[in-house]
Amino acid sequence: MSENAPATVPTAWLTMPDLVEALGESLGRVHRLVDEHYLIGSRRSGVFAVPEVFIVDGHPLPSLRGTVIALQDAGFTDDEAIDWLLAEDDTLGRAPISALLAGQKSEVRRLARTLA
């Protein structure tokens, strides 16, 4: 990481079999959660994976879907959206995912909409 690159929230990455286990859902249902933007992932080391921090108490973080949709509306790819969610943001004073986990979805989405 370069000196100027923002710090990112450390997270494990869950593959589809990991997600099936973590969510207690069928593979088909996990695919639907991804297709319907309740979860977002990308290929890491050639395998599709989702940041573990997007799962809370065995369910997708409820505020993630609307935030992902706002980022996609702003033109972000899935990889860019994940990177933005995990990177420290000066405006928020922490990573957007940390703000979402703290219940600050309105602030995060407002910021996401300004990125278009």
Q: pLDDT value at position 116? A: 73
Residue 36: pLDDT band with limits 50, 70, 90? very high
Question: What DSSP designation does 15 have?
Answer: E
Per domain, the residue ranges of the chain are 13-113
Convert the pLDDT of each residue in 49-99 to its tens digit. Answer: 999 999 999 999 999 999 999 999 999 999 999 999 999 999 999 999 999
Q: pLDDT value at position 4? A: 52
Q: pLDDT value at position 1? A: 40
Give the helix, strand, coil percentages of the chain, each rounded to 5. 45, 15, 35
